[in-house]
Amino acid sequence: MNGAIMRLMIGIAALSGLVLGASLVAAQDSASYSAPAGTPANIRRAVQSGARTDEQIARDSGRKPAEILTLSGIEEGTHVIEFAALGHYYTTLLVDAVGTDGHVDMVDMPWTERFGGEPGRAFAAAHENATYTQVHYNEADLPDDVDVVTMVLFYHDLMRSSAEQSVDTADLNSRIFAALKSGGIYLVVDHKADDGSGWRDATTLHRIDTQTIIDEVTAAGFELAIDSDILDNPEDGRTLDRRDPAIRGSTDRAVLVFRKP
């Protein structure tokens, strides 16, 4: 059996017994979250790491990091490209989960320099298994033989009000496909817009239609391996800006795991 498929099956098994699709609450006690039974040891270690800040830990109940990383097949020694490492919520988890034999390539867009540049460079300087690159995604030279690519809460930001800052998603997805090993995983998590709305709300509500992501990524050659409801929130009407205090941190989110055949 292909190793990536096996990892995905293990990930799904680890999530069994969880109550999926429950409404998320923006303000939650960090103690209400813990890695579920069956979480791989390297991911459990990352979630419990003392390197994580209180602010990061406080977001766990709404983000379910152990489940997301398990679905992604993150193992010791995994080579990950993390697009949009901003804030380093997932970066902090990833560098611990992949261990000293793994590597995390953080790749941010130039327009994030004003708030993400210095923290990104500082994070890479402090971690031997991480590198930071700031480059327009249309021009990014991606490494070969990558195991996992992640893009969390950023796919909608590939379209900007400025044409110069916008990304050719078809080209980017094709280059991600080329960078991954056979069986490699491409994880996309994003705030859901109305079904059938396409890119309509990307620059206003900072949301995107789930099917649009699926159509674009599979057009590059990927297979949709998992469409998870782990971060569903049916109480989100999808009409508010994802930054609105009434919904921030608890938007209805797509969790999509694509696999390179």
State pLDDT tens for residues 27-61. 334 458 999 999 999 999 999 999 999 999 999 99
Q: Would the pLDDT of 20 be above 80?
A: no
Return the percentage of the chain with pLDDT > 70, whole number.
88
The pTM assigned to this predicted structure is 0.88
User: Which DSSP category does 87 fall into?
Assistant: G
pLDDT at 24: 35
Q: How does pLDDT run across 62-79, given as a tens digit for each residue? A: 999 999 999 999 999 999
pLDDT in tens, 106-165: 999 999 999 999 999 999 999 999 999 999 999 999 999 999 999 999 999 999 999 999
- State residue 16's pLDDT score: 42
Specify the pLDDT at position 209.
Answer: 98
User: Residue 21: pLDDT above 90?
Assistant: no
Lowest-pLDDT range, 7-11, 85-89, 129-133, 146-150?
7-11
Residue 14 has a pLDDT of 42
CA distances from 59 to 23, 53, 99, 248 (A): 15, 10, 23, 11
Angle, in degrees to the nearest 10, between helices 210-219 and 169-179: 60
In this prediction, residue 1 carries a pLDDT of 46
Distance separating alpha carbons of residues 125 and 162, to the nearest angstrom: 31
12 pLDDT higher than 70:
no
Q: What is the pLDDT of residue 170?
A: 98
Buried b / exposed e over 153-179, threshold 16 CB at 10 Å, is bbbbbbeeeeeeebbebeebbebbbeb
pLDDT of residue 6: 44
Are 108 and 84 in contact, with CB atoms under 8 Å apart?
A: yes
* Confidence label for 2 from pLDDT (cuts 50, 70 and 90): very low
Calculate mean pLDDT across residues 5-34: 46
What is the reported pLDDT for 202? 98
Query: pLDDT per residue over 174-202, tens digit each?
Result: 999 999 999 999 999 999 999 999 999 99
pLDDT for position 32: 84
Can you tell me the mean pLDDT for 16-25?
36
Are 231 and 63 in contact by the 8 Å Cβ rule? The answer is yes
Lowest mean pLDDT among 13-27, 55-69, 242-256: 13-27
Tokens representing residue 130 in the block: 């991480």
Structural domains in the chain plus CATH codes: 3-259 (3.40.50.150)
